[in-house]
Chains A and B, each alone.
Chain A
């Protein structure tokens, strides 16, 4: 009687997932194509870094949304509210700590910023939990109502920002040590953009590790593939989902702080403005796919920056054209998620 456990054999026989490369290649090809069009190399470097920074920020905001959709088939049109709330919450720390922000010390700047980000993520995470409980939970499985309800939730949240912080825009200056540019050769690169790229990479790496190397990540990925099966195996997918929703909201808050500092001006509508880009990104990436979302975000931001330089008039339409082009190539997005 052979005693090989079925699990072991199954494990050994699992073929490695084939890496789907063409979407990965789009990015460098696009960047290289833009080089002769832009003309000068330093300008190209500046534009590319700016695009990457913007893309990272959009990725941070979009990743939570796409995961939530993948896991529970819930599309939160109110996601933008978390972005605004995150940015405005940061002012609660950053404006009183103006001294630390203006001090000429990297450590003080960083700690003030870190505190602001922590608070913003905490608040948006909590808000996300409440949002899930009150707004989203009663309408699972009903797309039409979800769209309407979450849209309503966003309006209310946006208006509440007006009630709490007043109707005016709030200027949010960058900390002293993050201002200015670094010259690499002839190319001028804003310091803050490098920071945004770094934060984005850290978030992406952390997400990648959690999703691919931990048990929670395994469950989330399994839930995206087939939620009922995960439940049948005895895991509470509801709890998992709430966790992902909260994490996604907190990430949107983080993205909001970064975006607010990037723009150096906060408006209550900043979240819903950026949502348009976020939607384009998650459609391009394939609804539910984090990797696709990452590439999509970088693509959208790079295209926006290049066309903004080359042909400012069509810059607005460029993202829509990009989306159309990608969907013609892959109708379900770059990395379609299996079940949808």
Chain B
């Protein structure tokens, strides 16, 4: 019953999927103890944040049927909001919350304006307009270098509790120091978990059902008396807010906010890819997809490099496998999975029974 409430009655509905989810959550919860080392911790934190980011995008793409290219913009607003505030005010909690509040308000306002403007018309309009707005925002962020640090971004220090130098307990627990980095990780993990469960609650509420109805047939939803524009705009705002929070978590974790880690178009592609591969229209897809994708991104690229080095004799093939061509393979995978696995990994697992 407890579990029922926690998951909002939306169970994985596949034994294998449930096992995979449990394994991922357990691994993430115990990551600092199971996989010590800066790199593994970084991978784990990135997975947590991407789960939230992708799940909030899935609320738009998978549940409401809206294609947006501005999701990284909201993510970036969150990261920059916290980052710039900490940079200019200094490492206090007040600065964190002030930055977060400003970022949330900015995101909400932008999402509302863009939504009211373009969600009245077709999905395709919204896709184009968000693409235009997001790229203008990205250029703006790198142009206003006095304020945002331009292409280099801003590094800043976080409140003392979250610094690596801080020790909560002097003794080590299971061979791992209880330092600020660990606390930051658990801040990220718990926030991500809470946000994910919140999103799960949202999509399984009556509100979520209306969104799904709009995705399936907006004309009919409108005829049944639901103001589709209002629902779409609300979904857009909600997803923007969650993306902003994810961005803020990323900034706290990296202690850095810059265009490459937040606003870059490649991140938008990553999000799209994870949603499609994991499974559109199911939040569990975000968990599976993010875990697989981030792991592959961090460990498979090294493999590609080896393969490329081994093939230097064959010029074109070596180029094909060069680690910089990572995106090429992602693109191919993306196209193939839209064709052949429109329901993604989760959909496949569920249909197998």
| A contacts, CB < 8 Å to B | 75, 77, 135, 138-139, 143-145, 147-149, 151-153, 155-156, 159-160, 162-164, 166-167, 272-273, 275-276, 279-280, 282-283, 287, 313, 316-317, 319-320, 323-324, 327, 331
Residues of chain B within 8 A of A77, CB atoms compared: 127
B324 touches A162 (CB 8 A): yes
A248 smallest CB distance to B (angstroms): 17
B44 smallest CB distance to A (angstroms): 27
B342 touches A145 (CB 8 A): yes
Residues of chain B within 8 A of A276, CB atoms compared: 131-132, 135-136
Residues of chain A within 8 A of B269, CB atoms compared: 151, 155
Residues of chain B within 8 A of A143, CB atoms compared: 122-124
* Any A CB within 8 A of the CB of B117: yes
> How far, in whole Å, are A313 and B140 apart by their CA atoms in the complex?
9
Contacts A283-B128, A317-B136 given; does A148 touch B332 at CB 8 Å:
no
A163 touches B320 (CB 8 A): yes
A152 touches B335 (CB 8 A): yes
Residues of chain A within 8 A of B335, CB atoms compared: 135, 149, 152-153, 156
* Any A CB within 8 A of the CB of B338: yes
Contacts A279-B131, A327-B117 given; does A156 touch B332 at CB 8 Å:
yes
Residues of chain A within 8 A of B334, CB atoms compared: 148, 151-152, 155
* Any A CB within 8 A of the CB of B65: yes
B257 smallest CB distance to A (angstroms): 20
Residues of chain B within 8 A of A75, CB atoms compared: 124, 127-128
> How far, in whole Å, are A331 and B122 apart by their CA atoms in the complex?
12
> How far, in whole Å, are A272 and B331 apart by their CA atoms in the complex?
15
Task: Show 5 residue pairs from A and B whose CB-CB distance is below 8 angstroms, ordered by the A residue.
Answer: A145-B338, A147-B127, A155-B330, A276-B135, A327-B117
Contacts A155-B269, A159-B327, A159-B331 given; does A147 touch B124 at CB 8 Å:
yes
Residues of chain A within 8 A of B143, CB atoms compared: 313, 316
Option from A156, A163, A323 in Cβ contact (under 8 Å) with B132: A323
B330 touches A280 (CB 8 A): no
* Any A CB within 8 A of the CB of B316: yes
What 0/1 pattern do residues 116 to 146 of B give for CB contact below 8 A with A? 0100111111011101110110011001000
B272 touches A148 (CB 8 A): yes
Residues of chain A within 8 A of B188, CB atoms compared: none
> How far, in whole Å, are A340 and B231 apart by their CA atoms in the complex?
23
B117 touches A316 (CB 8 A): no
> How far, in whole Å, are A279 and B133 apart by their CA atoms in the complex?
11
> How far, in whole Å, are A317 and B140 apart by their CA atoms in the complex?
8
> How far, in whole Å, are A143 and B127 apart by their CA atoms in the complex?
10
> How far, in whole Å, are A258 and B131 apart by their CA atoms in the complex?
24
B215's nearest neighbour on chain A, judged by CB, is A144
B332's nearest neighbour on chain A, judged by CB, is A156
* Any A CB within 8 A of the CB of B325: yes
> How far, in whole Å, are A164 and B328 apart by their CA atoms in the complex?
12
Residues of chain B within 8 A of A159, CB atoms compared: 325, 327-328, 331
B342's nearest neighbour on chain A, judged by CB, is A145
A320 touches B320 (CB 8 A): no
* Any A CB within 8 A of the CB of B235: no
A149's nearest neighbour on chain B, judged by CB, is B338
> How far, in whole Å, are A287 and B225 apart by their CA atoms in the complex?
29
> How far, in whole Å, are A235 and B320 apart by their CA atoms in the complex?
43
Option from A151, A163, A331 in Cβ contact (under 8 Å) with B319: A163
Contacts A148-B334, A327-B117 given; does A320 touch B327 at CB 8 Å:
no
A280 touches B132 (CB 8 A): yes
A320 touches B132 (CB 8 A): yes
A316 touches B272 (CB 8 A): no
List 19 extra interface pairs beyond A152-B338, A275-B131, CB under 8 A.
Answer: A75-B127, A135-B335, A149-B335, A151-B334, A155-B328, A155-B330, A156-B331, A156-B332, A159-B328, A159-B331, A162-B325, A163-B325, A167-B324, A276-B132, A279-B131, A282-B128, A283-B128, A287-B124, A320-B136
Residues of chain B within 8 A of A152, CB atoms compared: 331-332, 334-335, 338
B322 smallest CB distance to A (angstroms): 8
* Any A CB within 8 A of the CB of B84: no
* Any A CB within 8 A of the CB of B67: yes
* Any A CB within 8 A of the CB of B252: no
A163 touches B328 (CB 8 A): yes
What 0/1 pattern do residues 263 to 287 of B give for CB contact below 8 A with A? 0010001001000100000000000
A332's nearest neighbour on chain B, judged by CB, is B121
The winner among B133, B269, B339 for most chain A CB atoms within 10 A is: B339
> How far, in whole Å, are A151 and B136 apart by their CA atoms in the complex?
19
> How far, in whole Å, are A167 and B127 apart by their CA atoms in the complex?
29
> How far, in whole Å, are A167 and B129 apart by their CA atoms in the complex?
30
> How far, in whole Å, are A108 and B117 apart by their CA atoms in the complex?
51
Residues of chain A within 8 A of B339, CB atoms compared: 138, 149
Residues of chain B within 8 A of A324, CB atoms compared: 117
Residues of chain B within 8 A of A283, CB atoms compared: 125, 128-129
> How far, in whole Å, are A273 and B131 apart by their CA atoms in the complex?
11
B139's nearest neighbour on chain A, judged by CB, is A316
Contacts A152-B331, A152-B335, A153-B335 given; does A320 touch B122 at CB 8 Å:
no
